[in-house]
Amino acid sequence: MVLAGAAVVLLIAGAPTRAALAGVGFALAGAALTRALDIAAQRRAEAAQAQASRLRDLDETRRLAYAILNARRSRDGVIIATLASALAHHGLAADPNVAAEHVASVLNAPGLAPESEQWLRQQIDRITAELDR
C-alpha cells in the first residue's frame, strides 16, 4: 500500500508514467507475497492444531483402554489407568504394565506395598527434577 501511495504521488507530481507503473507493480507484488505468506502460516497453524487435537484424542483412547484392562484387577481402574498411561507415555518411559501394578498396589493396599510406594516416589522425584529444569 505504501508503494501504491508513492506511485500515485509520483503521477501527481508529474513523474514519468513508467516509474509510477513500476511502483504500482511492486506494490501489488508485495501485497500478493504478504498474503501468500499469511495463508501459508495460517495453514501451518491449523495443521498443528489438528495434530495436537488428534494426539489428545489418542491419549484419551489409550487411557480408556488401560482403564478396561485394569478395571478387572482394581476397584478403581480409571485412576490406575490414567496414572499408568501418563507415566508410560508422557516422556517418562515407564512400562505401562509395571506402572499399573505398582499404582494398583499402592491404591488397593496402602502401607502394605513399600516397594511400590518407593517406585511411585521415584517417579514423582523424576517428574519434579524434570519440571525444575
What gap in Å lies between CA 80 and CA 66, rounded to an integer? 8
pLDDT digits (tens, 9 = 90+) for 84-132: 887 777 767 788 888 888 888 877 776 777 888 888 888 888 778 877 8
pLDDT at 19 over 70: no
Indicate the pTM of the whole model. 0.47
Domain ranges of the chain: 2-131
Grade residue 49 by pLDDT with cuts at 50, 70 and 90: very high
DSSP assignments along 25-89, one per residue: HHHHHHHHHHHHHHHHHHHHHHHHHHHHHHHHHHHHHHHHHHHHHHHTT-S-HHHHHHHHHHHHH
Cell numbers placing 2: 505504501
Provide the residue count of the chain.
133
